[in-house]
Amino acid sequence: MRKKNVYKTVVATLLGLVVLFPIYYAFVASFFSLRDFTSPIPLLFPPQFSFHNYVRALTESLLPRFMVNSFIVSFFASLVRMGVAVLAAFSVVFFRFRGRNFLFFVIIATMMLPGDALIIENYLTVSRMGLLDTYAGIMSVYLLAPVQLFMLRQGFKTIPLTYREVAAVDGCSDIRFLWSVVLPLSKSIVMTLWLHSFVTMWNLYLWPLLVTNKTHMRTVQVGITMLGYAESLDYGPTFAAVSLLIAPSLLIFLLLRKGIVAGITKGTIVG
Amino acid sequence: MKYIRTTISILLISMIVGFSLTAKGQAEKSSQSTHVEFWHSNSGLLGDAMNHLVREFNDTIGKENNIVVEAVYQGMAADVATKLRASLQSGRASTLPDLAQLDATGVMDVRDSSFMVSVEKLIDQDPSYSLAELQPGTVLSMTYKGEMIGMPFNASTILLYYNKDAFREAGLDPNKPPKTLDDLASYAQKLVKYSADGKKVEQYGYMGVPTSYELVSWIGQQNHLSYLTDFNNGHDGNPTHVLFDSEGTLANFLNKWRAVYNSGGLSNSTSDVRQQFIVQKTAMFSTSTSSLSTILDSVDGRFEVGVGYFPMVDEHATGGVNIGGGALFVFDNNNDPGKKATWEFLKYLVSPEVQLYWHQQTGYFPVANRTYELEEFTQHIEKNPLFKVAIDQLHDSNPEVQSVWWPNGYQVYYEIQNSIIEMLEKNKPTSEVVTYLSETINRFMDEYNRMNK
């Protein structure tokens, strides 16, 4: 038994290192000078620590402003997304009405439409609504996520229907039942999905670039490309910005870690 | 219930914040002066240079004429094209910029659009300026159906870069770079260096896989002047089929290239070739003239860098290299009637002094003829003899060797690379590669022409 555990630990550590290495390297490279990037033997540790690249990343672009923009967009969009998905999943699981399954499958079917194919049509809609250069414009097309609806539906289905009947007998309203019974029981799924949508929104590039024109409305991923250019070999400021950008996602992950791990062990898979 | 109320109020607040920001944005526009919106793809060093020029314009000429140019960075060249495509398809002029910077691939998206305003028409309206002030090659590089539709701006050509120290070590004259592909093969053979056990290559002679970019020159140089497709590489209309198969130009090049590979000194590496040159894993490679400053900075004196004319396909070749890079396109967006303000800004950007500044900051060569007569320019060239090679090459080239405007630009680029790698590594016959590439590219053009009828 113990021997098996040792193997497990070794394999897990190795896999962990594979995942961690790029993050480690981005962090280390944020201290490199131009010369360090073109060293004949790749460096795994910076020859000297200088915050030069961080200063450049923060001063050569409006990075702090971009981070605020991205945070607002990611935070609120994932919140609304979650709200819509929770209510939709709740009605699909606990209410019986005509066309329930049909409606559910229509929503799920939209997963088959590739986002790239819709991007120009979405741009037209958003621009006609006058939402260019607004947070609402950036968020708008991401407010409904069929994947989340699907995941939540599967999660809610594990809650026995008798709970709802018992609660109803005690005079519990639907909303109260959702808040006091369903959500606490599905905490890990909800948290995992929320984190997933936060990170997805945080990493968006093309859509925010399309619907914004003013520099002060840009998001971080767009901002990062302003720091380098195709011919440049001076990746320092870009890596410094990357190291700064990964912080919020990492922080939220650490805060929600317990819930997420619980979710994973319960068999939740996030698509 | 309480939570829900909080959530809803947070949502409402965020919506209000969003809308108030639009309101603010619109308020900015309604001042007296003419605003010119300029979408560009210059980031990093290039972005700094661009912003400097825009600021200087706004503080001088702009102030006198009540023009305010707003430069908006729109991501990489391909992103600018995507965004423009969306705006053009929406048919809503108000979402278009006054001016946009595009590369050769983006040209395909705008050249037939009714929203595009030809720059040659703007030049014709201004008696104080004429096409003759621009480098003839750059004018032709942006000419479509006999009219210069975009203003050449960030122009460059391909250039051979080599390591002079490696040349000396191999017993080659460091001041005589290879002139033809035959030379390149024999040089590469001498330059390749193996590890002590002879199993690993420590330094290649040449690194890189040709793409549409190199082919335009290597095919263009043959039979006095050749094109890849009909309609003069798409400059006289939408191309319908390739010419390099029936004219034998591709086969001639591929055979020469195979000889370079068979010398044992060629590496078919496609990624980070510039880095490989800087860390001395290859003694030669080719890239844009605009990379020269960055490469010199990065090499930082570790070895002596040399540059030479891009090797000719064979000893009969004439014509040299084509001009690549980007240009500025004007759009009718119901703002700035007659595009007078936009034209003022364009004229400023291609003025001799501004072109000198842009050249010194970025390495793109000046498009204005008079820049080359400036005293400062002569001094600059004397101080940086490598830049002189790049500029001499440009002036020795035939302006009619032109870049190719065909659909699916990026896809074709990789199709060419992959076919050449496969030909070399699997030792496929040349004719098979020519047939495959002609069929593939002809199909792309066919589909494009059917869709855009």
For β-strands B147-148 and B151-156, DSSP reports them as: unpaired
For residues B312 and B253, the answer to whether their CB atoms sit within 8 Å is no
**Cβ B18–A134 below 8 Å, yes or no?**
yes
Q: From B294, which residue of chain A is nearest by alpha-carbon distance? A: A232
Kindly indicate the confidence band of residue B20, based on its pLDDT and cuts at 50, 70 and 90.
very low
User: Nearest CA to CA, how far is A94 from chain B (Å)?
Assistant: 19
DSSP per residue, chain A: -HHHHHHHHHHHHHHHHHHHHHHHHHHHHTT--HHHHT-SSPPSS-SS--THHHHHHHHHS-HHHHHHHHHHHHHHHHHHHHHHHHHHHHHHHH---TTHHHHHHHHHHGGGS-HHHHHHHHHHHHHHTT-TTSHHHHHHTTS--HHHHHHHHHHHHTS-HHHHHHHHHTT--HHHHIIIIIHHHTHHHHHHHHHHHHHHHHT--HHHHHH--SGGG--HHHHHHTS--TT----HHHHHHHHHHHHHHHHHHHHHHHHHHHHHHTT----
Same domain for B279 and B164: yes
Q: How far is A22 from chain B (nearest CA, A)?
A: 18
For residue B28, how many other CB atoms are within 10 A of its CB? Answer: 11
Mean pLDDT for the stretch of residues B148-168: 95
Which of B22, B285, B303 would best serve as a mutation to test chain A binding (most A beta carbons within 10 A)?
Answer: B22
Nearest Cβ partner for A123 among B46, B72, B86:
B86
Report the largest interatomic distance among the alpha carbons of chain A, rounded to a whole angstrom. 75
Same domain, B116 and B181: no
Residue B7 above 60 pLDDT? no
The pLDDT assigned to B16 comes to 47
Q: Is residue B383 part of a domain?
A: no
The answer, yes or no, to whether residue B58 has pLDDT greater than 60, is yes
Within a domain: residue B15? no
Cβ distance B43 to A226 less than 8 Å, yes or no, reads yes
By Cβ distance, the residue of B25, B45, B83 closest to A214 is B25
Q: Is residue B25 one of the residues assigned to a domain? A: no
What pLDDT shows up at residue B10? 57
Q: Do residues A123 and A141 touch, judged by C-beta distance below 8 A?
A: no
- Domain assignment of residue B82, given as a range: 33-155+324-373
- Among B14, B95, B156, B292, which would you mutate to test the A interface (most chain A Cβ atoms within 10 Å of its Cβ)? B14
Work out the pLDDT band at B410, boundaries 50, 70, 90: confident
CB B274 within 8 A of CB B285: yes
Give residue B2's pLDDT.
Answer: 53
CB atoms B279 and A39 under 8 Å:
yes
Q: Following DSSP, what letter does each residue of B237-295 receive, concatenated?
A: S---SBSTTTT-HHHHHHHHHHHHHHTT-EE---SSHHHHHHTTSEEEEEEEGGGHHHH
Instruction: Clarify whether residues B69 and B107 are in a common domain.
Output: yes
Specify the higher pLDDT residue, B6 or B119.
B119
Q: Which residues of B329-339 are buried (b: 16+ CB within 10 A; e: fewer)?
A: bbbbbebbeeb
Is the CB of A129 inside 8 Å of chain B's CB atoms? Answer: no
Distance of residue A80 Cα from the nearest chain B Cα, in angstroms: 8
Contacts of A179 in chain B (CB under 8 A): 3
Contact A40 B74 (CB under 8 A): no
From the list B11, B79, B290, the residue facing A80 with the nearest CB is B11
CB B117 within 8 A of CB B55: no
User: Nearest CA to CA, how far is A41 from chain B (Å)?
Assistant: 8
pLDDT at position B99, please? 96
Could you report the predicted ipTM of this complex, rounded to two decimals? 0.72
- Asked if residue B129 and residue B168 are part of one domain, the reply reads no
A199 close contact with B: CB closer than 8 A: no
Report residue B279 as tokens: 């860390």
In a domain, B264, yes or no: yes
Burial of B350 (0-12, 13-18, 19+ CB in 10 A): buried
Q: Do B73 and A226 touch (CB under 8 A)?
A: yes
Q: Count of residues for chain A?
A: 271
Contact A130 B22 (CB under 8 A): yes
> Do B293 and B412 belong to one domain?
yes
Say if residues B166 and B203 touch (Cβ distance below 8 Å): yes
> pLDDT-derived band of residue B60, with 50, 70 and 90 as boundaries?
very high
Among B43, B90, B297, the residue with its CB nearest the CB of A124 is B90
The pLDDT, as a whole number, for residue A230 is 66
Angstrom distances, CA of residue A118 to CA of A112, A203, A210, A232: 12, 19, 13, 33
- Domain-embedded: residue B11: no
Q: Identify which of B21, B46, B95 has the shortest CB distance to residue A127.
A: B95
**Do A234 and B19 lie within an 8 Å CB cutoff?**
no
pLDDT tens per residue, chain A (271 residues)?
A: 567 788 999 999 999 999 999 989 999 989 988 778 877 777 888 888 888 889 888 887 788 899 999 999 999 999 999 999 999 999 999 888 898 889 999 988 988 888 778 888 888 888 888 888 899 999 998 888 888 999 999 989 988 888 888 888 888 888 899 988 888 888 888 888 988 899 899 999 989 988 888 888 999 988 888 887 766 777 888 899 999 888 888 888 888 887 777 665 654 444 3
Q: Scan residues 202-221 of A and list those with Cβ closer than 8 Å to B.
A: 205-206, 209-210, 213-215, 217
Min Cα distance B315 → chain A (Å) is 32
What three-state secondary structure class fits B438?
helix
The residues, ordered by sequence, that sit 6+ positions from B356 with a Cβ below 8 Å of its Cβ are B366, B371, B374, B376, B377, B380
Are B309 and B254 contained in the same domain? yes
- A72 in contact with chain B, both atoms CB, cutoff 8 A: yes
Mean pLDDT computed over B192-204: 89
Whether residue B392 lies inside any domain: the answer is: no
Q: What are the contacts of A213-216 at 24+ separation with CB within 8 A?
A: A213/A132, A213/A133, A213/B37, A213/B72, A214/A133, A214/B25, A214/B72, A215/A62, A215/B72, A215/B73, A216/A62, A216/A65, A216/A69
Q: Do B44 and A234 make contact, defined as CB atoms within 8 angstroms?
A: yes
From B74's Cα to the closest Cα of chain A, the distance in A is 7
> Is A119 in the B-facing interface, judged by CB distances under 8 Å?
yes
- Closest partner residue to B298 among A38, A128, A210, by Cβ? A38
**Sign of the Cα pseudo-torsion (B144, B148, B153, B158, in order):** positive
Supply the pLDDT for residue A52: 87
In a domain, B12, yes or no: no
Regarding whether B258 and B353 lie in a shared domain, the answer is no
Q: For residue A40, give the nearest of B47, B274, B279 by CB distance.
A: B279
Alpha-carbon distance A1 to nearest alpha carbon in chain B (angstroms): 45
CB within 8 Å: B72 and A213: yes
Cβ of B43 and A227 within 8 Å? yes
Report which DSSP code applies to B92: -
**Residue B170 counted as domain residue:** yes
Kindly give the interhelix angle for B430-451 and B409-425, rounded to the nearest 10 degrees. Answer: 170
Q: How far apart are CA B94 and CA A127, in angstroms?
A: 10
- Measured between beta carbons, the chain B residues lying within 8 angstroms of A209 are 74-75, 79, 83
Q: Which domains does chain A have, with CATH numbers?
A: 2-265 (1.10.3720.10)
- CATH code of the domain containing B86: 3.40.190.10
> What confidence category does residue B400 fall into, taking pLDDT thresholds of 50, 70 and 90?
very high
Query: For residues B273 and B317, what is the distance between their CA atoms, to the nearest angstrom?
Result: 26
Q: Tell me the C-alpha to C-alpha distance, in Å, between residue B398 and each of A109, B140, B430.
A: 56, 11, 28
Is B401:B221 a contact under the CB 8 Å cutoff? yes
B198 lies in the same domain as B147: no
- CB-CB neighbors (< 8 A) of B76 in chain A: 225, 230
Identify whether residues B58 and B189 lie together within a single domain.
Answer: no
Instruction: Give the tens place of pLDDT for each residue, B98-142.
Output: 999 998 888 888 988 999 999 999 999 999 999 999 999 999 999
B356, B373, B390: which is the final residue of a domain? B373
Q: Which residues of A touch B324 (CB under 8 A)?
A: none
On whether both B256 and B110 belong to a single domain, the answer is no
**B300 and B170 within one domain:** yes
pLDDT digits (tens, 9 = 90+) for B202-221: 999 999 999 999 999 999 99
Share of chain B above pLDDT 90, in %: 72
Please indicate, yes or no, whether residues B409 and B305 belong to a single structural domain of this protein. yes
Asked whether the beta carbons of residue B44 and residue A136 sit closer than 8 angstroms, the reply is no
CB atoms within 10 A of CB B31: 10
Searching chain A, which residue's CA lies closest to the CA of residue B74? A209
Q: Which residue of B has its CA nearest to A122?
A: B86
B279, closest residue in chain A (CA to CA): A40
Are the C-beta atoms of A245 and A224 separated by less than 8 Å? Answer: yes
Q: What is the tally of structural domains in chain B?
A: 2
Name which of B3, B43, B279 is nearest A229 (Cβ-Cβ): B43
pTM to 2 decimals? 0.82
Cβ-Cβ contacts under 8 Å between A and B: the total is: 116
Q: Which two tokens stand for residue B292?
A: 């020269």
Whether A125 contacts chain B with CB within 8 A:
no
Which positions ≥6 away from B126 have C-beta within 8 Å? Answer: B343, B347
Mean of pLDDT over chain B: 90
